[in-house]
């Protein structure tokens, strides 16, 4: 761990180039209205000195930080147990760096962390926030809102509190579910069951809605509650088999659930897909490709979601600058990304 050498300042560059600090500043920030010859001299000086602007000094006056916070609640282990979050982060990171913004990661574990995050956000350390809010009654959204920071949500927030000025990005959980069930029906399956996720998560609720869209008249006993884990999938599958031995298809709310269901199906001697066809959701690779047989599932563009979230936020931030009250409406409140069905061997 070495010492930090004193870094060159604007002043130093100015002196070396034989110009004023203002000129250097202009050149450094997208030169405009600086004679070419001078600009070139400045650029050379910058190069020679290895000058890098001091972001703290810059922020102090511009009130911009070129930084965005990503807030995620960690206890919802789903966020962490699977690569979902990582992929989302990757998308966000790409978009942010493409626009020269830094990514500040804020992970929360509970109440005490909420206070911290609220303080940080309200403290004006970042220009905006990307928030993952996957649960009903999640305190995070309210917190972020009261911090008064421009925000885009990942996943449809659950408030029906009239205010629909929230920007969010979600995948088409409902439509994806519909396509899964349609696919199953198209295979000639008539007794299609559904294993839900934890229904306090909007994604799980939406997938159930999608199932119902297609099977409005479904026997309620064909619906069993899971929890997005494979253990939950096993339990639900047993229930289902006990209640409706004649079922010939299962739409599982996610891939882990499907993996559990698959195990029980085999254990009970049901052949997949011959006796029972199975479709999952997520296309979580390490799981979907590893099941036996490989899982047919609904893929969402997770990285794309992340990228889009960042893009919408950044766009909103830019809009702030012109500050034209007459300007046409801002970012769309919610954006839903399409899903695609990935055919493998279970349906």
Residues that bind its own copies (CB under 8 A): 1-5, 7, 50, 52-57, 59-60, 63, 65, 67, 70, 74, 80-83, 85-87, 89-90, 93-94, 97, 102-107, 109, 113, 116, 119-120, 122-125, 128, 148-151, 167, 230, 256, 259, 263, 284-287, 289-292, 316-317, 320, 330-331
- What residues are paired with 196 via a beta bridge? 225
Burial tier of 206 (Cβ tally within 10 Å: 0-12, 13-18, 19+): buried
Token pair belonging to 183: 């696919």
Residue 326 φ then ψ, to 5°: -80, -15
Q: Given the complex with its own copies, which of 177 and 284 has the nearer CB atom?
A: 284
DSSP, collapsed to helix, strand or coil, labels residue 334 as strand
Question: Which of its own copies, DNA, none has residue 34 at its interface (CB below 5 to 8 Å by kind)?
Answer: DNA
Kindly state the smallest distance separating residue 205's Cβ from its own copies, in Å: 23
Do 108 and 72 touch, CB atoms closer than 8 A? Answer: yes
Token pair belonging to 140: 């995070």
Question: Which of DNA, its own copies, none has residue 33 at its interface (CB below 5 to 8 Å by kind)?
Answer: DNA
Q: Given the complex with its own copies, which of 103 and 337 has the nearer CB atom?
A: 103
Instruction: Report how far residue 130's alpha carbon sits from residue 149's, in angstroms, rounded to the nearest whole number.
Output: 10
Q: Tokens 């206890």: give the residue.
A: 75
Kindly state the smallest distance separating residue 324's Cβ from DNA, in Å: 16
Question: Which of its own copies, DNA, none has residue 202 at its interface (CB below 5 to 8 Å by kind)?
Answer: none
Q: Given the complex with DNA, which of 25 and 102 has the nearer CB atom?
A: 25
Kindly state the smallest distance separating residue 94's Cβ from DNA, in Å: 25
Kindly state the smallest distance separating residue 12's Cβ from its own copies, in Å: 14
Token pair belonging to 27: 């050149």
Question: Which of its own copies, DNA, none has residue 74 at its interface (CB below 5 to 8 Å by kind)?
Answer: its own copies
Q: Given the complex with DNA, which of 1 and 60 has the nearer CB atom?
A: 60
Question: Which of DNA, its own copies, none has residue 3 at its interface (CB below 5 to 8 Å by kind)?
Answer: its own copies
> What are the residues binding DNA (CB under 7 A)?
6, 9-11, 18-23, 25-26, 28-29, 33-35, 37-39, 51, 53-54, 57-58, 60-62
Kindly state the smallest distance separating residue 6's Cβ from DNA, in Å: 7
Cis check: omega of the bond before 2, within 30 degrees of 0: no
Q: Given the complex with its own copies, which of 80 and 159 has the nearer CB atom?
A: 80
Contacts of 42 (CB under 8 A, 6+ apart): 13, 17, 19, 23, 24, 27, 28, 34
Kindly state the smallest distance separating residue 22's Cβ from its own copies, in Å: 19
Question: Which of its own copies, DNA, none has residue 172 at its interface (CB below 5 to 8 Å by kind)?
Answer: none
Cis check: omega of the bond before 14, within 30 degrees of 0: no
Q: Given the complex with DNA, which of 41 and 215 has the nearer CB atom?
A: 41
Beta strand ranges found along the chain (DSSP E):
67-73, 102-108, 128-132, 151-154, 167-171, 192-196, 223-225, 249-252, 277-282, 296-300, 334-337, 339-342
Question: Which of DNA, its own copies, none has residue 85 at its interface (CB below 5 to 8 Å by kind)?
Answer: its own copies
Kindly state the smallest distance separating residue 329's Cβ from its own copies, in Å: 12
Question: Which of its own copies, DNA, none has residue 192 at its interface (CB below 5 to 8 Å by kind)?
Answer: none
- What residues are paired with 69 via a beta bridge? 104, 129
- Region of 333 on the Ramachandran plot (φ > 0 left; ψ -120 to 50 alpha; else beta): alpha
Token pair belonging to 264: 């029980």
């Amino acid at each position: 761990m070495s010492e930090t050498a004193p870094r060159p300042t604007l002043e130093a560059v100015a002196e070396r180039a034989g110009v004023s600090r203002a000129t250097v500043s202009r050149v450094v920030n997208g030169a405009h209205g600086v004679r070419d010859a001078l600009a070139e001299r400045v650029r050379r000086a910058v190069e020679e000195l290895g000058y890098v602007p001091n972001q703290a000094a810059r922020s102090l006056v511009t009130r911009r930080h070129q930084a965005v916070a990503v807030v995620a609640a960690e206890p919802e282990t789903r966020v962490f147990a699977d690569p979902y979050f990582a992929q989302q982060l990757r998308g966000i990171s790409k978009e942010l760096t493409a626009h020269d913004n830094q990514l500040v990661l804020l992970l929360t574990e509970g109440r005490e962390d909420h206070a911290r995050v609220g303080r940080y956000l309200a403290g004006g350390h970042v220009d905006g926030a990307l928030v993952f809010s996957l649960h009903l009654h999640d305190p995070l959204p309210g917190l972020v809102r009261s911090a008064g920071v421009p925000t885009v949500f990942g996943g449809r927030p659950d408030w029906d509190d009239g205010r629909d000025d929230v920007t969010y990005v979600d995948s088409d959980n409902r439509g994806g579910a519909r396509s899964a069930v349609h696919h199953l029906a198209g295979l000639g399956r008539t007794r299609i069951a559904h294993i839900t996720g934890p229904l306090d998560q909007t994604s799980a609720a939406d997938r159930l809605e999608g199932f119902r869209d297609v099977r409005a008249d479904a026997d309620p006993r064909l619906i069993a509650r899971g929890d997005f884990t494979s253990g939950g999938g096993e339990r639900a599958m047993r229930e289902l088999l006990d209640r409706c031995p004649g079922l010939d298809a299962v739409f599982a709310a996610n891939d882990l659930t499907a993996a559990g269901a698959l195990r029980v199906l085999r254990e009970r001697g049901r052949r997949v897909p011959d006796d029972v066809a199975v479709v999952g959701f997520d296309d979580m690779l390490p799981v979907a490709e590893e099941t036996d047989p490989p899982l047919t599932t609904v893929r969402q563009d997770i990285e794309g979601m992340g990228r889009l979230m960042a893009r919408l936020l950044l766009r909103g931030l830019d809009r702030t600058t012109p500050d034209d009250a007459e300007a046409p409406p801002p970012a769309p409140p919610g954006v839903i990304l399409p899903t695609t069905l990935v055919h493998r061997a279970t349906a």
